[in-house]
Amino acid sequence: MATKKKDIRALTKTQLRDFFVKQGDKAFRGNQVYEWLWQKAAHTFDDMTNISKETRQMLEDNFVINHIKVDTMQRSADGTVKNAVRLHDGLIVESVLIPTATRTTACVSSQVGCSLDCRFCATARLKRMRNLNPDEIYDQVVAIDNESRLYFDRPLSNIVFMGMGEPLMNYNNVIKAIDKITSEEGLGMSPKRITVSTSGVPKIIKKMADDDVKFNLAVSLHSAIDEVRTTIMPFNETFPLNDLREALEYWYAKTKRKISYEYVVWGGINDTQKDIDALVKFCKYVPSKVNIIEYNPIDDGEFQQASNEALENYIATLEKNRIVVNVRRSRGKDIDAACGQLANKS
């Protein structure tokens, strides 16, 4: 029986160099192949045109490149592009390209399905099947960068980890992917243009601060009152707001970087003055800003976007307290590509 071939992109550059030396070749060959695998994002060994045919065959005999495959691509009337991405084991995740006048943002997934159970999110209804590998995260970015160049004539400018999954529950692989995305041997993007969004895993937020990461942090808050937050995000019971607050204070003390709070306002859930006052108080713990996200309904109608009056009250109160607030209109709703709608529907 043939032995199982190894995923070549699980090797570090040093391991790849060592492999070639063991084969009686030059270590430098490892650098060349590494460049093909990452910077040039080769899909097959045959793409590696400056490598001899025999060497390519030898690689083929020993390794696989588990490159993702964009299965279907949908384009929204507003220009948003959604990719359904097939992984080497047949599972599917989604990623989204969001164009604006000045930037193109890639919204990428970190897990197949999600381990959390936010009641308003379509992805939460999918079981978490597995974590994505670093190369599977990297490939999503490369695919969107290519689409950005093709459709909008410019490279990708920003990345948000706001697709499927909870990035901090797959921290090691997310960090490895970001290392490749920011490295000169990968895409050479600035970490300042990358935002990792989390529902708030206090221990990992502290670890990120200790690791001195250079990307931005967004927290999906949605309520600053424990009882309310636990009803809509049940895992808040395990990681209550006080623990989150403490982790965010630790993050700010170490990184000196502002936090963004993602916030949806729903009628009858978090639209009272008490909810607003609690948010204002929470925002004062560490320098932060609030992104109010429009609610994207997911079938059952249990949650409804709050009235304009409630929204305006939020905005006015935050501004009065000198807290920066942006209102984010949803993009790509017609193709189920907006926040919380990623559920492998087509």
Q: Which residues are catalytic?
A: 94, 339
Q: Which two tokens stand for residue 66?
A: 């588990």
Three-state DSSP at 186 gives: coil
Would you say 296 or 313 has its CB closer to ligand SAH?
296
Residues 135-164 that bind ligand SAH (CB under 6 A): 162
Residues 30-69 that bind ligand SAH (CB under 6 A): none
Region class of 3: left (phi > 0), else alpha (psi between -120 and 50), else beta: beta
Angle between helices 134-152 and 171-182 (to 10 degrees): 40
197 binds ligand SAH (CB under 6 A): yes
170 binds ligand SAH (CB under 6 A): no
Q: Which two tokens stand for residue 209?
A: 């601060």
Would you say 265 or 315 has its CB closer to ligand SAH?
265
Give the shortest CB-65-to-ligand SAH separation in angstroms: 28
Would you say 173 or 296 has its CB closer to ligand SAH?
296
Tell me the sheet residues that pair with 216: 195
166 binds ligand SAH (CB under 6 A): yes
Would you say 133 or 291 has its CB closer to ligand SAH?
291
| Distance separating alpha carbons of residues 12 and 18, to the nearest angstrom | 10
Name the segment binding ligand SAH (CB under 6 A); options: 19-27, 64-72, 130-138, 293-301.
293-301
Q: Which two tokens stand for residue 89?
A: 């084991």
Do the beta carbons of residue 338 and residue 296 sit within 8 Å? yes
Name the segment binding ligand SAH (CB under 6 A); options: 134-142, 150-158, 291-299, 317-325.
291-299
C-alpha 335, offset from chain centre:
19
What are the angstrom distances between the C-alpha of 73 and each of 98, 147, 148, 206, 313? 13, 10, 13, 37, 39
Q: Are strands 130-131 and 111-112 parallel, antiparallel or unpaired?
A: antiparallel
Q: Where are the beta strands (DSSP E) in the chain?
A: 6-7, 63-64, 69-75, 81-86, 92-99, 104-107, 111-112, 130-131, 158-161, 194-198, 216-220, 259-263, 288-293, 324-328
Residues 63-102 that bind ligand SAH (CB under 6 A): none
- For ligand SAH, which residue of 98, 217, 279, 298 counts as binding (CB under 6 A)? 298
| Sequence-distant (≥ 6) Cβ neighbours of residue 299 within 8 angstroms | 122
262 binds ligand SAH (CB under 6 A): yes
- For ligand SAH, which residue of 189, 295, 332, 336 counts as binding (CB under 6 A)? 295
- For ligand SAH, which residue of 213, 293, 323, 335 counts as binding (CB under 6 A)? 293
121 binds ligand SAH (CB under 6 A): yes
| Distance separating alpha carbons of residues 63 and 290, to the nearest angstrom | 46
Which ranges of 132-186 does DSSP label H, i.e. alpha helix?
Answer: 134-152, 171-182
- For ligand SAH, which residue of 158, 220, 223, 288 counts as binding (CB under 6 A)? 220
120 binds ligand SAH (CB under 6 A): yes
Name the segment binding ligand SAH (CB under 6 A); options: 17-25, 88-96, 197-205, 306-314.
197-205
Would you say 120 or 138 has its CB closer to ligand SAH?
120
315 binds ligand SAH (CB under 6 A): no
Do the beta carbons of residue 276 and residue 269 sit within 8 Å? no
Comparing every residue's Cβ against ligand SAH, the nearest one is 340
Give the shortest CB-173-to-ligand SAH separation in angstroms: 15
Q: How many CB atoms lie within 10 A of CB 135?
A: 25
171 binds ligand SAH (CB under 6 A): no
Q: Kindly list the residues in this chain that would bind ligand SAH in the complex (CB under 6 A).
A: 118, 120-121, 162, 166, 197-199, 220, 262, 264, 293, 295-296, 298, 339-340
